[in-house]
Structure 1
Amino acid sequence: MTEGRMMRGIHWIAVLALLLACGGPMAAEPDEADIERTGKETAGLIDGGGRAPAEAGAMDPATAMQVLAELGRPGQELDAEQQARLQAAKDTLYGAKGSDRRLKNEDTVRRQLGLDAVAAQKKADWLARQPADWKLHRHSARGGEADLVVRVGDVDNLGFGWPVDFDPFSGASTPPHAFPFTPDPQDPDGTDRIMVISGYAGDAATKKDGYTTRTRRPANNPQPVTLEFETRGLTPQAVQLQLFVDDFQAPSFGNRYRVLLDGREAPHMAEALNTLRQRGPIGKLITLQLLPEQFDLLADGRLEIAIDDADTDAGDGFAIDFVRLLVNPGGTRQLASLHGRILDKRSREPIPGAMASAAATAEGRADAEGRYALSDVPAGLAVVVASHPDYEPGHASIDLEAGARGELDFLLVPRQETSRVLEKALREDGRVDLYGILFDTAQATLRPESEQTLEQVLALLQRRQELKLVIAGHTDSQGDTAYNASLSQRRAAAVLAWLVERGVAAGRLASEGHGESRPVASNATEEGRARNRRVEIRRQP
């Protein structure tokens, strides 16, 4: 076989592969409306079949395809020059007259033009069906999905657009896409751009993702997203935040995101983001619930959402396409359901009464066999927490598309608050909630059963002399807000005093009280209130 014949064979195989990739059987021969695109990629693959450039005229395949698309429509009246150009284009693409490949090439080109035209029309129809407000960088509306819907960021998949018929609110993930290096100047702060956690210092040994390795400061600094809205006549009963997030990978990189709402910690939201394992990069909708103790943040008609990790040197970058606030969401949302079992990891026995919560948007209690069920879970990436007072909380995420019924089981580990466990949690998370420190009701008096956990904190401080801790008190929402803030401060101070009395230098410790302002669970259930009543220790900077 000559080199020329071999190359023509390779080209022909490439054409067949391309056609198979476009969906299998050939489309019918295109009509006048179909032949409307250039098909440059196909033109570059078509073999000329022994064409004779001297007779056909000098014309490259891409130009020939353009000429064919413009002048090859049936019924057109062409002058002599146009007829000559059309003939030259055909000879370039199909091969010289008399070639045994001419008819095959002609059929291939015309069918590919038809396939391209059908695909282009399908894309155009999809774009026409998209809501007009998706193109807006900021949007607010009353009624429909919720009493109030506020969005920051245009709905455009970080500027790459959506696949045909893709619904970003259905819970489906986007296909992998390129990096959004250059945001549109009109994109609001915090949207459609790569952001790298502020704690990343560029250590050569640090694990880094593509977002981190391909960008630099200050362009990739984290930016908060700010929502502004009219609150007149609005009484919040339920509030959700929807974020279309991209490339969050905290479990893979070892970082721990924090979420601040108007500067106030939202631990249950951070808990959700820190379970995400997005790769690709790909995009996914996640729905988070504001807890009633956070509704006061909406009173001024402004909510700033800041996502960052300032404490670790992990190289995890992330992006956000848009953020939506839904006040009093209604029945038009896309929902799914979830069920499973909650078991003891060691014995595999059920844990009756354990709670499962999908980012506080839906909750269910386990029965005698450990089975739970959640209905009306917002479609998207559902981040679920299983909890019981005697066990460490379990965290998991699951993709749920609208109308789906997912299954997710949990194996919980009995709660341990040894000095080694506390040290590991501080090293990995920077903080740990202590549930073994107990107080008399509405008092700051330590109960005797707190001694075991307190002794473990003391042992940790004695072993790690360089360690400095902040001791923070938290309460549930029962009782007066101001009283709860004072009570939590006094309880944190009582723990600090216990440690100082046993030889820990006071300069290594600080105390603070947050009352009911930083819940980790809903206060609507006793299980949720039990999770909110806690003493937190965290490393001082």
Structure 2
Amino acid sequence: MKRAHALLWAVVLGGWGINGAVARTTDTDGDWQLQTVELKDTREAEVVIRLGDIDNLGFGFVEGFNPFTGRSTDVHPFPFDPAKDDAAATDRIMVGSSYNGENIPAGQDGYSFDFNPDTRPLKAESLKIPLKALSGVTVRDAVLCLFVDDFQSPTFKSQFEVTVNGKRFPEMERTLNALNQTGPIGKVIYVKLSQEMLENLKGESLEIRVDDPHTRAGDGFAFDFAKLMVNVKDFLYRGNVPGRVVDDETGDPIASATVEVAGFAKTQSDREGQFQLQKVPAGLAVVQAGAPGYSSAQVSVDVVGDESSEPVELRLRRSAAVEFTGKQVREGDKITLNKIQFDVNSAQLRAEGMAELDRVAAFLKDNPGAEIELSGHTSSEGGAALNRDLSFRRVFSCKGYLTQAGIGESRITTIGHGPDFPVAPNDTESNRALNRRVEMKITKL
């Protein structure tokens, strides 16, 4: 039966003009048939490293089709059997390690139906990107471009976790868990590496593992390729995303909501709740909106190069109120942790800072569903880049203290802004002291 099924798909694909073996080489991605590619000084980035061939999970593209434009491919068959030379974790169906075909929370997709623990376990594997090409490169930023297929967490109640060299990467988890792909049709997504994740580029390889270790969901998924872009210059294909933010209960517009595609585009809604995100990298993008007093919401949207997407609507629900140090706080609120101070050019926590973080740890233990962002800020003396690095190391030190206190690392994200967001002019020592701060934003309740 499977042989007949494969023959049928071969006839269909041939009728569509799809051929996985067609050779193609571009200046931004090299030879699409190669399993590993390393390029220097392309139009997109200082260094590009690709793992996996670009071939639509082995089924190829219609002649002339470019997946980086954001346009959708045709529906393809199920990639049960990768070629022998396909890079690990590419061109194959995988399921979460918790999946065994039993006690499934919300139905299952076609990818997971063929699971057999003995003959076809479909277990998740790691994408392992070699980093030799980064020798001697000063890394300022990095972006992952992934061709992803059939992620459907909103439908099948999966909960994907992402680790990079063994460390949780919650920003990428939020993106993958917001996707609701069908077809199956693959799409390109972009994920910016956080300052914390950039530390992993100093080693021999970047090992990315996507898994669902807990829910038992029947949500199979696949990757065609993974492309690491270091010191990004530009994205060749970008589009715009218009939309509106409203109160979920009343339908009233929410003004001044923060709307973003994390790491790539950010804006605020106007008094009518309207917004437009500009120059979003083409592909499948996750748009998130948040406002003080509301729980954040997100939606995935197709972005096509040089076009505006269909308008999206983000409906925000009122957040529950909880208590932190005697005051009521809600999702989206920012709190300055005044007692966390550091010596000059140091990320070493002082005793009073540890006491403040003990209060944060107690808050997180009392509210096990809460997640926070710790942001570091400095005054303007010295170079901006050095101050951003210093402010990051300081909040990373805070995160380390909290994880040692028993808080899961995936509940805390960190960012170092340096001097970029002062709360006072840097004209007096007292004002500069105000700008040297650590802020806690409640990102989830």
If the length of structure 2 is used for normalisation, what is the TM-score?
0.73
What secondary structure sits across from 2:413 in the alignment? coil
Contact 1:142 1:149 in 2 (8 A): yes
Instruction: State the alpha-carbon separation in 2 of the partners of residues 373 and 521 from structure 1.
Output: 26
What secondary structure sits across from 1:328 in the alignment? strand
What secondary structure sits across from 1:274 in the alignment? helix
Instruction: State the alpha-carbon separation in 2 of the partners of residues 253 and 275 from structure 1.
Output: 12
Aligned pair count? Answer: 375
Query: Which residue of 111, 119, 144 maps to 1:211?
Result: 111
| Equivalences for residues 42-81 of structure 1 within 5 A | none
Matched with 1:315 is 218
Could you tell me how far 1:307 is from its partner in structure 2?
0.7
What secondary structure sits across from 2:54 in the alignment? coil
Q: Deviations over 1:247-303 (max 9, x none)?
A: 111111101111112122211211111111111221111111112332222122521
Could you tell me how far 1:160 is from its partner in structure 2?
0.8
Contact 2:90 2:222 in 1 (8 A): yes
Question: In the alignment, is residue 181 of structure 1 matched against residue 118 of structure 2?
Answer: no
Q: Per the alignment, do residues 303 and 235 of structure 1 end up closer, same or farther by CA in structure 2, a change over 3 Å counting?
A: same
Contact 1:474 1:515 in 2 (8 A): no
Superposed CA RMSD: 3.9
Q: Deviations over 1:48-81 (max 9, x none)?
A: xxxxxxxxxxxxxxxxxxxxxxxxxxxxxxxxxx
Instruction: State the alpha-carbon separation in 2 of the partners of residues 279 and 157 from structure 1.
Output: 15
Query: Which residue of 142, 147, 153 maps to 2:40?
Result: 142
Instruction: State the alpha-carbon separation in 1 of the partners of residues 276 and 237 from structure 2.
Output: 18
Identify which of structures 1 and 2 has the higher relative contact order when contacts are C-alpha pairs closer than 8 Å and 6+ apart: 2
Contact 1:473 1:514 in 2 (8 A): no
Instruction: State the alpha-carbon separation in 1 of the partners of residues 314 and 163 from structure 2.
Output: 28
Question: In the alignment, is residue 410 of structure 1 matched against residue 309 of structure 2?
Answer: no
Query: Which residue of 218, 221, 225 maps to 2:127?
Result: 225
Flag the structure with larger Rg: 1
Which is richer in helix?
1
Query: Which residue of 36, 47, 54 maps to 1:155?
Result: 54
Contact 2:335 2:441 in 1 (8 A): no
Matched with 1:22 is none
Instruction: State the alpha-carbon separation in 1 of the partners of residues 134 and 222 from structure 2.
Output: 29
Query: Which residue of 395, 400, 403 maps to 1:484?
Result: 395
| Equivalences for residues 202-351 of structure 1 within 5 A | 202-203=101-102, 207-217=107-117, 219-229=121-131, 230-331=133-234, 333-351=236-254
Could you tell me how far 1:146 is from its partner in structure 2?
1.2
Contact 2:125 2:209 in 1 (8 A): yes
Instruction: State the alpha-carbon separation in 2 of the partners of residues 473 and 489 from structure 1.
Output: 14
Could you tell me how far 1:390 is from its partner in structure 2?
2.1
Which is richer in strand?
2
Could you tell me how far 1:405 is from its partner in structure 2?
0.8
Q: Deviations over 1:114-169 (max 9, x none)?
A: xx9xx89x879x94655461000010101222111111000111111112332111
Instruction: State the alpha-carbon separation in 1 of the partners of residues 332 and 403 from structure 2.
Output: 13
Could you tell me how far 1:192 is from its partner in structure 2?
0.7
Could you tell me how far 1:434 is from its partner in structure 2?
6.8
Q: Per the alignment, do residues 535 and 327 of structure 1 end up closer, same or farther by CA in structure 2, a change over 3 Å counting?
A: closer
What secondary structure sits across from 1:360 in the alignment? coil
Q: Per the alignment, do residues 278 and 516 of structure 1 end up closer, same or farther by CA in structure 2, a change over 3 Å counting?
A: closer
Matched with 2:286 is 383
Could you tell me how far 1:531 is from its partner in structure 2?
9.1
Q: Deviations over 1:425-448 (max 9, x none)?
A: xxxxxxxx977796742245679x
What secondary structure sits across from 1:193 in the alignment? coil
What secondary structure sits across from 2:159 in the alignment? coil
Could you tell me how far 1:394 is from its partner in structure 2?
1.0
Instruction: State the alpha-carbon separation in 1 of the partners of residues 162 and 187 from structure 2.
Output: 18
Q: Per the alignment, do residues 530 and 239 of structure 1 end up closer, same or farther by CA in structure 2, a change over 3 Å counting?
A: same
Amino acid at match of 2:219: D
- The worse-fitting range, judged by mean Cα deviation, of 266-275 and 367-376 is 367-376
Contact 2:108 2:217 in 1 (8 A): yes
Question: In the alignment, is residue 198 of structure 1 matched against residue 93 of structure 2?
Answer: no
Consecutive unaligned residues of structure 1, counting only runs of 5 or more, are 1-40, 42-115, 420-432, 461-468, 494-509
Q: Per the alignment, do residues 511 and 255 of structure 1 end up closer, same or farther by CA in structure 2, a change over 3 Å counting?
A: same
Instruction: State the alpha-carbon separation in 2 of the partners of residues 413 and 395 from structure 1.
Output: 12
Could you tell me how far 1:481 is from its partner in structure 2?
5.1
Instruction: State the alpha-carbon separation in 1 of the partners of residues 76 and 66 from structure 2.
Output: 16
What secondary structure sits across from 2:296 in the alignment? strand
